[in-house]
């Protein structure tokens, strides 16, 4: 007797809550990685959905003739060939909004840690240096008197801006185009270089993909200047890491705070060796509460779409496929 539940494929690692709900609500097939050869041939036509946090390319999509939806765990979905999926009439969803506040909170913490060296000060105390050597050295950098530039004023960028408002920090931004949909007192800069030149705290929140590959480059760091601080909570692929390391080493910029890297979890040793860098292991959204909300949205998208209802959070490439659009 055929299983009445749609078959959901999970390639590679996934959040535990996603796995638990998929197994409870659907027929579930797990494979080690996104390799169609790992799916038994007689089951490939049964695959209706993919729940994923890995690369899903066109060839993998094409392997499943009855694939209907790819539900991505995370806001960034540059690892999914969403254009090809849409051409195949395959819905693609992600998990926006539910992690916005957590990432924005972490960004503020990363800014303060980078400028005021709080992690280093705590380590100084813990190893007994406060008692043996006296007060921690005064920090040369501060948030006071700075102007912030946000590269990517989307949901998360706007949440970061709202938090910086509370610090009385002037804010400018750059997107592909000036935002007209909402009213806010932030000045738009026509290019990323112009934004970097106008501020001394540059915060990168843009997604990955071909359009943003290494867009934060040597010219941007040169424009940011020797008092400039760079913060990245978007994608590591958006930054030319060699140019950033050179800028930090030579004093072209003052410091950097990074939660994302080009080749995670591998971080260049040259970057780790620099004294003016604060690094985090991609933890901006990594609270149990937020990850559970993300996991629920992954499965809720599957449940909605596979039951004939609109997807809850379709990505831009797939919005035309949504039943109510």
**Tally of CA atoms within 13 A in the half-sphere of 302 that contains its CB:** 33
- Active site members: 235, 264, 282
Write down how long the chain is.
325
* Cα–Cα distance for residue pair 301/77, rounded to 1 Å: 15
DSSP reduced 3-state for 324: coil
Can you tell me the distance from the alpha carbon of 218 to that of 154, in angstroms, rounded to the nearest whole number? 24
| Nearest residue to 317 via CA among 211, 244, 231, 237 | 211
Strand partners, 50: 9, 70
Per-residue CA distances from 90 to 69, 80, 246, 302 (Å)? 5, 12, 43, 12
Cis-peptide, bond into residue 265, ω within 30° of zero: yes
């Amino acid at each position: 007797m055929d299983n009445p539940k749609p078959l959901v494929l999970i390639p590679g690692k996934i959040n535990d809550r996603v796995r638990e709900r998929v197994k409870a609500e659907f027929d579930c097939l797990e494979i080690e990685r996104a390799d169609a050869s790992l799916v038994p041939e007689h089951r490939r036509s049964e695959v209706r959905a993919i729940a994923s946090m890995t690369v899903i390319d066109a060839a993998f999509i094409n392997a499943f003739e009855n694939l209907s939806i790819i539900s991505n765990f995370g806001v960034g979905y540059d690892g999914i060939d969403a254009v090809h999926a849409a051409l195949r009439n395959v819905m693609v969803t992600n998990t926006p909004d539910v992690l916005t506040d957590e990432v924005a909170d972490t960004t503020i913490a990363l800014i303060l840690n980078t400028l005021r060296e709080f992690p280093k000060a705590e380590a100084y105390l813990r190893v007994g240096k406060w008692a043996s050597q006296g007060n921690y050295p005064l920090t040369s950098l501060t948030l006071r008197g700075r102007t912030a530039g946000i590269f990517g004023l989307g949901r998360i960028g706007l949440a970061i801006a709202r938090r910086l408002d509370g610090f009385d920090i002037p804010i400018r931004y750059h997107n592909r185009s000036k935002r007209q949909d909402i009213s806010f007192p932030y000045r738009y800069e026509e290019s990323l270089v112009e934004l970097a030149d106008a501020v001394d705290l540059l915060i990168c929140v843009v997604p990955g993909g071909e359009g943003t590959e290494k867009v934060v480059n040597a010219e941007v760091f040169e424009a940011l200047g020797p008092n400039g601080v760079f913060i990245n909570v978007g994608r590591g692929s958006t930054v030319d890491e060699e140019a950033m390391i050179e800028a930090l080493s030579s004093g072209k910029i003052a410091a950097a705070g990074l939660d994302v890297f080009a080749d995670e979890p591998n971080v260049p040793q040259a970057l780790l060796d620099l004294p003016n860098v604060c690094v985090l292991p991609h933890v901006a959204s990594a609270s149990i509460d937020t990850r559970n909300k993300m996991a629920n949205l992954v499965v809720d998208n599957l449940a909605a779409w596979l039951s004939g209802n609109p997807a809850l959070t379709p990505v831009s490439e797939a919005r035309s496929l949504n039943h109510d659009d």
